[in-house]
Amino acid sequence: MFKYSIIFFLLTCSSVMLFAQEDGVTSSQNWNEMIQVNSNLKETNTIRIFDNPKKVYQLELKDNKPYNGYEISDEKLLGELNYVNFYQNGALVAKYAIDYLRADGTSIPVEYTLKTTYQDNNVISGPVYRELPQNLVLIEQYQEGKQVGFFLDLFAMHYFNRLSFQLKGDMLSITNLQTENEVRVYKKNEILEAEYYVRKKLIAKSKRSVEKKDQIVPYASKVYYVEGQALKEFICVIHTSADLEEVEDDFLPLLFTQFSFEFNGDLVDVLKICNLFFSDAENLKKTDLGRIFDSYIVPYKRENYLAMVNYDAKGQPYEGQVISSLTSGGYEVLTYENGALKDKSVISNLTVLKTEE
């Protein structure tokens, strides 16, 4: 429904022609084109600004550049929805946008209901739109010069959804528009913890998913990875996450199951990490949501991962590969299946394991 409304609005606004006369202003142009009254003045009656409603908006020019007043900008949201810039003495002090979720594509003047304020070219308050690949729009939200949240809008044929990340007091609230589910993130005793809500009812609390250990303990796991040219290992106990299989949500469980873990920053930093993750994502897959905090949970990445071995109740290798450096050079690789040694080999360098992967 959202998608159809947006498409209808775009088609209507991009093609409509006005032939009207109002307060001495004659319009015979596309809605997003201002009339050149003289060399120093443009005006339009095709828009309405929510916090300064009037019939005619003017733009004073100086040296052929915007100086005072309202300008229908060439910059467009979603390739069609022109922004309106407001200038004072040549400085941009505000930018207005059309709320594409609530816009009425049949009415002129076009309503501008979203405002972003600027000072010295820096955002002070309001939304900042960033169009991303794969039909995603990231909308950062600012108050008093600080980011307080963001929306991630997802477009597809016959589908629209919005994931919301909002700082609210001592928590970060993450919601899914389609399901109305919510993940609440808190920081307690240097640990990021999360709670999962369905229809405002608490159904699960996060557990430490990966617990670092200094030595092998029952049911531990050891991960081998390469750092530079050196073989590294990470020992941990992997805990079972809360069971959310019955929860109908494609996104929030992937975020929730990453908690809890140690974190040196605050919730503002968590918000920035999520924001940056989506901003930098070139080929984002839904499953990628489950790895936003990987670098805070484990010391390795996919690129330098080599192998893993799981241990049994007695702390003995049960499944996977054990890698050891040899004093004579090279590496010994022991492969275990169901607690039994199945293979033993010597390799000259670690790239062999990466190739096998």
Residue with tokens 């810039």: 85
What mean pLDDT is reported for the chain?
89
Predicted TM-score (pTM) of the model is 0.83
42 and 9 Cβ atoms separated by less than 8 Å = no
> Does pLDDT of 286 surpass 90?
no
Residues 6+ apart with CB under 8 A from 260: 191, 192, 193, 194, 206, 207, 208, 209
3-class SS of residue 173: strand
116-120: list long-range contacts, CB under 8 Å, 24+ apart: 116/142, 117/93, 118/91, 118/92, 118/93, 118/94, 119/93
Tell whether the model's pLDDT for residue 256 goes beyond 80: yes
Beta strands in 206-330 (DSSP E): 210-212, 221-227, 230-238, 261-262, 305-311, 317-325
Beta-carbon neighbour count of residue 206 at 10 Å? 22
Domain boundaries, the chain: 1-120
Contact assessment for residue 236 and residue 325, using Cβ atoms and an 8 Å cutoff: no
- Does pLDDT of 10 surpass 50? no
Residues 49 and 47: their CA atoms lie apart, in Å, by 7
Mean pLDDT of 314-321: 97
The pLDDT, as a whole number, for residue 29 is 61
Count of H-run helices and E-run strands, the chain: 5, 27
pLDDT tens-place string over residues 105-137: 668 899 999 999 999 999 999 999 999 988 899
**CA distance readout (Å), 53 to 49, 56, 77, 109, 113:** 5, 9, 22, 11, 11
Exposure pattern of 211-229 as b/e (b: 16+ CB <10 Å)?
A: eeeeeeeeebbbbbbbeee
- Name the band, by pLDDT with cuts 50, 70 and 90, for residue 61: very high
In this prediction, residue 20 carries a pLDDT of 39
Looking at residue 355, its pLDDT comes to 58
pLDDT of residue 291: 87
pLDDT tens-place string over residues 141-196: 999 999 999 999 999 888 999 999 999 999 999 999 999 999 999 999 999 999 99
Taking only the tens place, the pLDDT of each residue in 176-187 is: 999 999 999 999
